[in-house]
Structure 1
Amino acid sequence: MHTEPGHTTPHVNTHITADLIHGALDLEHTPHGLLPHRLPARARAQCADPQLAAAESQPSGVRLVLRTRATSVELDALPTKRVYVGAPPRPDGVYDLLVDGRLTARSTVTGVGNTLTIDMTAGTATHEPGPPGTLRFTGLPDRMKTIEIWLPHNETTELVALRTDAPVEPVTARDLGRKVWLHHGSSISHGSDAASPTTTWPALAASLGDVELINLGLAGGALLDPFTARAMRDTPADLISVKIGINLVNTDLMRLRAFGPAVHGFLDTIREGHPAAPLLLVSPLYCPMHEDTPGPTALDLSPIGAGEPRFQPMGDPAERATGKLTLNVIREELSRIVKQRSADDPNLHHLDGRALYGESDFAELPLPDQLHPDAATHRRIGERFAELAFTAPEPLFPNREPDSRRTGED
């Protein structure tokens, strides 16, 4: 298997269309090609937050999926690479290529693309355009197979052109025999410090559970926004999960009085489109600095030059008495809400996030920046979620046939 630049002979040009792209809710036509979005245009128009705009345009869980006999594949892509003033260079976004579900090659697009330079101290960002680059995958098996090219989970990517040495055809979730799992969460679900797009914890869990992932993990964006709930309501899915909590503490966005009704409203909206689908509400993972200390969360800028950014809590534990949220407060409220609703909604389930990553896990695999898991921790979380949700004797997501009315298939 070769992924480095070199002579290849792909001669079939395939127009990249929506039926070749899995995991995106919208595709924007740009002067260069297609920009996958993980929130629809209507949702994007309802929020001017640049953090959300950046997160939803980073294609975590988005991949090209095709059936072909091709042994050589070329993909022209235009990345937007982020550079933080005063910080070490970020690694290039990683592309994972799977053949019939098995990781076969991994590559990057280097030395090309747009550059977004961010000065966190000044609060400014400048954009410098650049050219697209080409990924080349050669030496693929000479037989009919399913190829998946997973786009970088943390790097905005425009798809420019696709070339192969044999014709390609689209593949659906039904073709793959998979149920569709729709998940929403924070930067941890987005991928934070995972090694590659197929090693974020949701991608790992989806692979182990043999389900089709739509990942609405949005860095800094799991804030019970109504437009996100409506996007989930309108997205065909068989299994749904919502992991909520850490961003609400990070941003110090709301108090307990607003939190409970907002959770109810979020779930009510999802249920308008998915009245009977298994729906799993996941509380926060263990995070010592916010277990009993409210937000907001601040980035300690002093060690960034040494390559060791760390986050710190800015709240006071005494502020819980005024309704400020901590992770323990949120866990208690989510548990209470599920118990209250489950009498009328037997397909609503609750999972304490500490079952995925708890105090003993932190002792073994601490959060490097006090907030985000590293690559090894992503694997642990993904494996545990897959076991609890998909493969346990009594899984949280029971094995059932997809509802054709919700998948949009006949």
Structure 2
Amino acid sequence: MLRAIGSALLLSLIGFAGVPAHAQDVERVRIRGSQTLATGLVPAVASSWLRDIGYEDLRVVRKGALTEIHAVRDDLPLIVEIGASSSAIGFTDLVDGNAQLAMMTRRPTAQELDAGWQLGDLASQDQEFVLALDGVAVIVNQRNPVAGLSLAQLQRMFAGQMRDWREAGGTAGAPALHVLAAPSAARDLMEERVMRGTRWASARTHADLRGLLAAVAADPGAIAFVDLQQALPAGVRPLALSDGGRAIAPTRVAVMSEDYPLTRRLYLYGSQMMGALARSFALYAMTLPGQHAVERAGYRAVMLRPGQPGPMLAGPVDYRQLVHDAVRLPLSLRFNFAGNNDSGVAASVYDSRSVRDIERVAALMKQPAYRGRSLIVVGFGDAGAGSAAAAMMMSNDRADMVAHELMAMGLQVAHARGMGALLPLMRAAGDARYRNERVEIWLR
């Protein structure tokens, strides 16, 4: 009996089956969910985080759908596990305690929030982290005269129901559909936002992007879609798209502000009780070094980079005059309308990205290059407010609220004004209020 106990103790010291005992107790950060984030984005940011907090000897081990990043600091090992599955499975893993962070290409559904009520307020900036942006550009031949399409027209076109470009204001000829043969994040987004369960028409398939882009450049009737980050060759251009509002081209500002309709956020979600290392990683991803790692991975980082003043062609005269010669910051502040914490009230009036965007604006304006410059705050309402007067009042209230917050941070605000329900991004249905009720900030 004593010999058996001694043998058991010896095994516990030297490790079971030849594995050192300490190897069985290695601390792990478990991240599960969307394959889009797991393939390259999250491993890149995780590697940058580990190096920046002092870990060394990084080693990447791939085990099917699981990527492990092994590292050591002060002789203590750490493994970051990144499991690729789907947004839904990642959220389930978070609820079940099999993950400390969930990777998602969308917000949790109402059913998921009910299932994960114990996780806390997943709309809070303490638990919802907008890691990056991606999206889809719909491309045509440069000689195609069509400037833009609605998402409804786009659906009909890729379903084979629009048989002539003249239906979209183009010249006579059947649309020639081109797609990549392999599954992609761009196709997933088209399925979700455009096709919505509608069957795809037959199309010419391509093994790689190079072949697809060459085919579009050679055919005036061609149409295809690619990732927003894809560089376009000569002879190919993107279309402006609309979702019941005005048509918007995928410019840098339109994508970064999420005004362009085929833009989406890539999220990390954690519970209110997530571990210290998991929280450290999520917060690091929100910093400039973390966002630089996002860019190196080939995604749109959520950073403020003002451009140059450009011609203002859209909107009423008052709007164009207000922002004349100003530069729009690449953001649109949006708002929380409900919470799922114990009180049922949102933790912040802003959504999680907007909370951080206000902080980014303050940091930008304190840089030497921007000192002494002022801001213009423009609010927009939603037609669902009930009347034009109600939408105007709401837009003014939103603009004033943001302006007061910026001034409380010591920033100069030259003007704050609401525009009511003018320039909607989406028709009054579904999540139109979230999309349309927004605040723009311009640099003067």
Normalised to the residue count of structure 1, the TM-score between the two structures is 0.31
Larger radius of gyration: 2
Normalised to the residue count of structure 2, the TM-score between the two structures is 0.29
* More helix as a share of residues: 2
